[in-house]
Amino acid sequence: MNILLNNSSGQPLYEQIEEQVKNQIIAGELKEGDALPSMRTLAKDLKISIITTKRAYEDLERDGYIVSVTGKGSFVRGLNEDFVRDNILCAIEDLLDKAIEKAAVGNISLEEITERFALLYKEKFDGK
């Protein structure tokens, strides 16, 4: 598991851990049954408080990404495709909401946003 934290990002460290673990699970880098480092080990490796790693693990478990077994540790939970798709769509909606807020500030029309989105999407996926 590879976690990189940015102390100057403004995003809480526990959220950065959660986001990166979720992304690694969704991308298949972490697979069902894979053991995660203990909260203490992760805290030591990242040079952060164990309270921070505990919060991240609790949130990951609450959201259904991992399962914790007392005395054994935390493990990646099996995810079904619908669950993964719903989570990705929620993340996209959050990003689109932020884009819409920026568009409103700049008085950018829906047509302009849609056109820009279509261009970016085609640039990204036409080459694949």
Domain locations in the chain? 13-76, 81-125
Is the CB of residue 41 less than 8 Å from the CB of residue 48?
Answer: no
Cα–Cα distance measured from residue 120 to residue 2, given in angstroms and rounded to the nearest whole number: 29
- Identify the residue whose tokens are 């999407």: 121
59-78 pLDDT per residue, tens: 999 988 999 999 999 999 98
The pLDDT of residue 14 is above 80: yes
Model confidence, pTM: 0.72
Q: Which CATH class is domain 13-76?
A: mainly alpha
Q: What is the mean pLDDT of residues 1-15?
A: 93
Q: What is the mean pLDDT of the chain?
A: 92
